[in-house]
Chain A
């Protein structure tokens, strides 16, 4: 049963010479630099169409810069070990040196990542705060998810019959801060606008929200991003970011005949006309879209 292990006559592996470690370090730095450059060259994101999106994209590139070197460090140590410390013929009974640990080293590799992570958390917390700040002249948009369709309401903009305007394609004027008030009729959905880099669940029974300031004209997908049943993958629509005057035309086409002060408020300051959340939730049955 007993079996000898290790061959005490053979010396342990010698320490790795300093110049080789420096060379490994050099290769690692170059590899990390290449990795970061590749990370910057890859066109990761879809077009950004909101102020918040740019902030979030920047955060991602900071994360690339911080994490690629860590991955390169791990991979290069593994590959270097596989090459340098591989058992060679004649070493079948050789053991490594009995190093049980090194407190200094262990403190360093606990403290450094902790510091890096702490810095990233502080940065991310600031970004999170910034993208959620209440803006002046915010326009409220009601968003309602139900299997398997989105409807959008524009509280304060009523048509000739004094009913709020409701669409199935979302129209937003450029550069006007928006706060979405999100509802669900049946099950949970997620109101996800990749161009904004933002999403929030539509939850039965509560109102959820997020803020965005559209800053690029164009059409962008709106996706339901929470499994909501067999039609989940078809629960999509379009966001159209249009100029302020085009938005005015859009409202007029839908029968909006607001007074000049409300029009002014649309294009300038003084906050969007308000409507209660319950009103928005009760309007899910009329779904005349513009198309």
Chain B
């Protein structure tokens, strides 16, 4: 019994939480006593420290740092025997596990849990907004609902679910046995439940949850009740997770590609995650900084954003958006990668303009850092900044447009397998185009002066993040479901899920363009009666949209438990993840592959992407293509 509690795992992790809380008391009480603060025992002060110390204690207890502690203390480290690799039962998903495939599943399932919670919050918001003068919740709770909705779906769904899918398939795609830093990978995942629980727990804080939007503009956030700190610190944990994973992807992609896989033989999903990881590593420290500013302002009176004491209110927004604009590409580029994989395989054609697809990703990375102030056209910043930001924002539409046109050209004359992943991919192309178009409109400053912060923005962001990112996520989940679970999903239910989502998504979000231009502000718990009928329609459609997710849920659960066994390569894909069994062997490749051609050579007679050392060519013997010497 004692041994079991001392061993790394959830038990020890949870038992360590009180130690962390005790640590908070031990830090705060002496300092307050020494500084003659009254009262010495101050719940708010202790809570702010405990929100850092308790999660850290949990991670230590869980065993996330065991190896490094042994190493740092000069004690013999336990050599990795890979006994932690693979999952033999569902319990293995609740432990520290260093297998990228297990972590990929942990990430994905955990993210979808928050997808459901975040979506449910949206449905509650739509109850409040079903008619003007809604009394479902009070204004403060409503502000909390949309703040937590956005925060959860950004930091605990879209960003991590892409990291999860890539965690599973990316090492397979480049012919690597695992990620470069498996222990860091495990730590990255376990930071997420902490961030998620912290954001949700804010509802139980005195004064309610954080209610200053996911943007948390100062000085509203620096003067808000204690619930705000749950955001300030929750985002730090999610951000740390994000940075660690991105670093892991970068090193994995740069150093662990199979022999022969030059950069221009990498599947575009790998390119997309390479680009995304660059964005994450460079940009995420900025949101960490912005939230540390807020924390120091709140807890210790630094007055960064207190105008009366020489603080600069607009500074918050510049630092915040220097991350949060690149963040919209962090939430989109991996989706671009997924769509490229699916379109090529399902249209049975090479990606049209592969190099341009890769270069446009890099162009977006660079340009993504030059457009942040377009979120601030009406912020009161110096007026001259508007012109350069309008120009860069318009320019960034060009590489994105190039990608859309390349996908269209890939479809052209293909043999389109119109199954569930393909439907989501084609739905994505049309919906994302709409979101891109409203984005170009918003780049035009005079139009933005009118619709900024109205429902037009809500419409735009949901066409980009739901019609864009979420559609690609569904496409990817269906596409790799056989690989991840070893089972096939139900095709008929998948199609039902697609069509109901497409329909209700549009009925929900398209009218928001209209009421936005008519002047309905976002983030309001009540609105003028002139918007009543549209809002009722939106509320009904949003509930149907939410219910359509049940089809997905049912399909996933039932298929995972008892779907037909999946073959290794159900889609006849050329990329490496399809050349191993479903699910893949514990160490991915029994024999190491050598890459001898591009990843999308569909229709090329005798084309080969990879050969295995034992001589087995995949998928057909090399034809007229030149063999490349191994690295």
Q: Interface residues, chain A, CB within 8 Å of chain B?
A: 1-6, 8, 12-13, 15-16, 42, 44-46, 55-56, 59-60, 63, 67, 70-71, 74-75, 77-78, 81-82, 85-87, 91, 94-102, 105-106, 109-110, 113-114, 117-118, 120-121, 124-125, 127-128, 131-132, 182, 186-188, 190, 192, 194, 197-206, 208, 210, 221, 223-234
Contacts and interface: CB of A to CB of B under 8 A. Distances in A.
Nearest to A42: B514
27 contacts: A1-B616, A8-B606, A74-B404, A78-B411, A81-B414, A85-B347, A85-B411, A85-B414, A85-B416, A86-B416, A94-B348, A95-B348, A97-B413, A98-B603, A110-B401, A118-B394, A125-B387, A188-B217, A192-B453, A201-B380, A203-B379, A205-B313, A225-B452, A230-B140, A231-B139, A233-B521, A234-B526
Given A44-B514, A109-B402, A128-B386, A3 B572 contact: yes
Contacts of B406: 106
Interface in B333-352: 347-350, 352
Interface in B295-352: 307-308, 311-314, 347-350, 352
A78 B524 contact: no
B413 A199 contact: no
User: Shortest 3 CB-CB distances between A and B: which pairs?
Assistant: A205-B307, A194-B519, A233-B524
B413 A101 contact: no
Contact of A95 (B349, B452, B580): B349
Given A96-B602, A201-B380, A205-B307, A74 B433 contact: yes
Contacts of A87: 415-418
B380 A74 contact: no
Given A1-B618, A233-B523, 13 more contacts: A2-B617, A8-B606, A77-B411, A78-B430, A81-B416, A82-B418, A87-B418, A102-B353, A110-B402, A192-B453, A194-B519, A197-B450, A200-B380
A6 B620 CA distance: 10
A56 B377 CA distance: 15
A234 to B, nearest CB: 7
A124 B415 contact: no
Contacts of A4: 619-620
A117 B450 contact: no
B434 to A, nearest CB: 6
B405 interface: yes
B350 A98 contact: yes
A128 B430 contact: no
Interface stretch (B93-101, B236-244, B437-445): B437-445
Given A59-B444, A74-B429, A232-B143, A5 B572 contact: yes
A98 B402 CA distance: 20
A67 B450 contact: no
A223 B437 CA distance: 27
A75 B528 contact: no
Nearest to A200: B378
B579 interface: yes
A110 B454 CA distance: 32
B619 A2 contact: yes
B220 A187 contact: yes
Contacts of A75: 430, 433
Given A44-B517, A132-B383, A232-B139, A101 B356 contact: yes
A9 to B, nearest CB: 10
A205 B602 contact: no
B353 A101 contact: yes
Contacts of A120: 394, 440, 444
A182 to B, nearest CB: 8
Contacts of B378: 190, 199-201
A99 B603 CA distance: 9
A198 B449 contact: yes
Given A70-B437, A113-B398, A100 B518 contact: no
B313 A117 contact: no
Nearest to A182: B380
B237 to A, nearest CB: 24
Given A2-B619, A96-B414, A114-B398, A228 B220 contact: yes
B354 A127 contact: no
Contact of B408 (A78, A96, A203): A78
Contact of A13 (B380, B394, B414): B414
Contacts of B452: 199, 225
Interface in B365-419: 378-380, 383, 386-387, 390-391, 394-395, 397-398, 401-402, 404-406, 408-409, 411-418
Contacts of A95: 348-349, 415, 602-603
Interface string B51-95: 000000000000000000000000000000000000000000000
B402 A198 contact: no
Chain B interface: which size bin? 35 or more
B409 A6 contact: no
B441 A67 contact: yes
Contacts of A192: 453, 519, 521
A140 B353 CA distance: 56
B145 interface: no
A70 to B, nearest CB: 6
A120 B193 CA distance: 45
A1 B569 CA distance: 9
B418 A99 contact: no
A97 B349 contact: yes
A205 B429 contact: no
Given A96-B414, A225-B521, A106 B353 contact: yes
A22 B471 CA distance: 32
Nearest to B409: A105
B382 to A, nearest CB: 10
B227 interface: no
A126 B394 CA distance: 15
B390 A233 contact: no
Nearest to B356: A106
A203 B308 CA distance: 12
B502 interface: no
A99 B413 contact: yes
Contacts of A199: 378, 449-450, 452-453
Given A71-B433, A74-B433, A6 B603 contact: yes
A96 B413 CA distance: 6
Nearest to A113: B401
Contacts of A226: 217, 453
A46 to B, nearest CB: 5
A113 B396 CA distance: 11
A85 B602 contact: no
A197 B601 CA distance: 52
B459 to A, nearest CB: 13
Interface string B128-166: 000000000011100100000000000000000000000
A8 B605 contact: yes
A75 B223 CA distance: 48
Contacts of A231: 139
A227 B142 CA distance: 12
Contacts of A124: 390, 444-447
Q: Which of A71, A94, A96, A226 counts the most chain B CB atoms within 10 A? A: A96
B213 interface: yes
A182 B378 CA distance: 12
Interface string B192-230: 000000000000000000011100010110010000000
B568 interface: yes
Given A67-B440, A132-B383, A230 B412 contact: no
A197 B450 CA distance: 4
B426 interface: yes
B361 interface: no
A166 to B, nearest CB: 22
B453 A190 contact: yes
A230 B211 contact: yes
A3 B572 CA distance: 8
B176 interface: no
